[in-house]
Amino acid sequence: MSDVPVELIENRLRGLLKATRCGHIDRRSFVRAAAAWGLSAPAAMLLLADAGLAQIQAPLPPYKPTQRGGGGTVRLLFWQAPTLLNPHFATGNKDGEACSLYYESLAGWNAEGQLVPVLAAEIPSRENAGLAADGRSVVWKLKRGVKWHDGTPFTADDVVFNAEYASDKATGAFTAGTFNDLRIEKVDTHTVRVMFPKPQPFWPGQYAATLLVPRHLFDAYRGARSRESPVNLKPVGTGPYVLADFKPGDTLSATINRNYHQPNRPHFDAVDLKGGGDSTSAARAVLQTGDYDYAWGLQTEDELLKRMEGAGKGRLHFASGGFVEHILFMMADPWNEFQGERGHPQSRHPLLSDLAVRRAIALATDRAGIQQFIYGRAATATPNYLHNPPRFRSTGLTMEYSLEKANALLETAGWVRGADGLRAKDGRRLKFVLQTSQTSARGRRCSL
């Protein structure tokens, strides 16, 4: 599209928006047509949002709350236990999921991939003057009447503080990169402006969905003192639950927030979370013994899960989400020092820097077999890293499994098979170290 005048692209997109507004084409057709003019699917959805055409909520689940509480205590089993409750230090889903009981973000993404407000009063758009015409700033209006669990009002100062807190290198926040290349300023008590150094088509970035902590409790623990804060283990948020007890790496309990800002939510009166064990024992505790109501992140072979379901104590529900199970390769050199450190970003992996090796690995990965013999109902083999929502799913990518082609690629590239079965080139053996969490499903996947 580099040879197409910008004015022509802009006029065409305006025409597509008009056709969508008039009902001549649906939103999915708009996204496909915009892609033909060089626009990514997320950017196309933001154009629809700006035009007021994409703020349609996903269908509600069958349960429609009519009151707050009344659901009793829900018992959760996480075979990877949370170890801290500061979302800026969350090192995995185990900590992030636990933090989400207490903390909330400006906005979140629904099942349709649309941005919906949480602590924000509304989603910024051109219509509500939230998005600047030059694409360099976004104004967020905050929901009024929201209070932290200790009764302190939630204000713009809290939003600004989170950006400053996480961006401070001395803090060592996991979310530091979320606030790169942006600055947040307070407009008034319940309005903030996010500013970018250049036009930003994907203006929500990651910051909009980042869980926020209270300024008045963390301000004294900025930078190098960040790990000393007692609130790292005793969260005070705006979320649906209030901390009752937390034993890092073991148990967590929470009670309902009677002053929660969302009407008729949450449903459960209390949450008890137990951590530890493994995926299989977690599944057994729900499906066979009934000791728990929900088991998180099951990475257990489907055939074993089917046998457990036979006990009649629990059942499995499968929902196709936005995450994909994948093997992530380190492209830097993990073995040899470069500028005084191993794995330096400017170094190159001695094996994976060869394109033929990467292509051979792709051809030698039996995605369909992994789904059929390991995950079964719990997964869908896909060549897409962005698999959901379905409208973002590419239909132009294919999966191919061919050991013959993989071997031919390596032979042509000079990787010669030795007497021990391993290939080598220039004295380098084609051998990798794979690391994963301890689950039978992931272990079998790596062996394949």
DSSP string of 344-392, one letter each residue: -TTS--TTTTSHHHHHHHHHT--HHHHIIIIIGGG----S-SS--SGGG
Kindly state the DSSP code that residue 192 receives in the 8-state scheme: E
Which domains, and CATH codes, for the chain?
A: 6-50 (no CATH), 73-232 (3.90.76.10), 337-447 (3.10.105.10)
**DSSP summary character for residue 153:** B
Task: Look at residue 268 and tell me whether its pLDDT is greater than 90.
Answer: yes
The pTM of the full predicted model, rounded to 2 decimals, is 0.76
The pLDDT assigned to 287 comes to 93
31 versus 211: the higher-pLDDT residue is: 211
Lowest mean pLDDT among 206-215, 281-290, 373-382, 406-415: 373-382
User: Which stretches of 70-114 are assigned E, i.e. beta strand?
Assistant: 73-78, 107-109
C-beta of residue 17 within 8 angstroms of C-beta of residue 23: no
pLDDT of residue 392: 85
Sign of the C-alpha dihedral, residues 363, 298, 112, 6? negative
- Determine if the peptide bond prior to 389 is cis (ω within 30°): yes
pLDDT at residue 56 is higher than 70? no
Q: Contact at 8 Å (CB) between 100 and 266?
A: no
Q: What is the band of 405 on the pLDDT scale with cuts at 50, 70, 90?
A: very high
Confidence of residue 14 (pLDDT cuts 50, 70, 90): confident
pLDDT at 46: 66
Residue range 68-79, pLDDT digits in tens: 999 999 999 998
pLDDT digits (tens, 9 = 90+) for 155-198: 999 999 999 999 999 999 999 999 999 999 999 999 999 999 99
Q: Is the pLDDT of residue 426 over 90?
A: yes
pLDDT value of residue 3: 60
What does the pLDDT look like over 204-225, one tens digit per residue? Answer: 999 999 999 999 999 999 999 9
Give the best-scoring range by mean pLDDT among 12-21, 59-68, 112-121, 320-329. 112-121
Question: Helix or strand or coil: residue 406?
Answer: helix
pLDDT of residue 168: 96
Q: How far is CA 407 from CA 129, 328, 447, in A?
A: 58, 21, 18
Instruction: Using the predicted structure, report yes or no on whether residue 422 has a pLDDT greater than 90.
Output: yes
Per-residue pLDDT at 18 exceeds 70 = no
Residue 47 near residue 26, CB atoms below 8 Å: no
- How does residue 96 score in pLDDT terms, banded at 50, 70 and 90? very high
| Dihedral Cα 73, 74, 80, 85, nearest 10 deg | -60
d(CA 6, CA 108): 32
The answer to whether residue 395 scores a pLDDT higher than 90 is: no
From residue 300, alpha-carbon distances to 55, 76, 317, 442, 443 in Å are 37, 17, 14, 8, 10
CA 66 – CA 45 distance, rounded (Å)? 32
Question: Mean pLDDT over residues 263-277, rounded?
Answer: 94
Burial grade of 139 (CB within 10 A; 0-12, 13-18, 19 or more):
middle
As given in the structure block, the two tokens for residue 1 are 């599209």
Question: Is residue 177 within 8 Å of residue 114, measured between CB atoms?
Answer: no
Strands 73-78 and 294-296, bridge-based pairing: parallel
Enumerate residues 6+ apart whose C-beta is below 8 A from 362. 400
DSSP 72: -
Alpha-carbon gap, residue 415 to 407, rounded angstroms: 9
Residue 265: which residues within 8 A CB-CB, separation 6 or more? 65, 68, 240
- For residue 172, the 8-state DSSP code is -
Least confident range from 128-142, 235-249, 313-327, 434-448: namely 434-448
Residue-averaged pLDDT of the chain: 88
- Amino acid at residue number 284: R
Q: What is the pLDDT of residue 438?
A: 59
pLDDT at 57: 37
| Rounded Cα distance, 88 and 210, in Å | 8
Query: Can you state the angle between helices 355-363 and 403-412, rounded to 10 degrees?
Result: 170
Region label for 58, one of left (φ > 0), alpha (ψ between -120 and 50) or beta (otherwise): beta
Q: What is the pLDDT of residue 267?
A: 95
Let me know: does 285 contact 294? Beta carbons within 8 Å: no
Q: What is the mean pLDDT of residues 251-277?
A: 95
Q: What percent of the chain has pLDDT over 90?
A: 59
Rg (CA), the chain: 25
pLDDT in the model for residue 58: 41
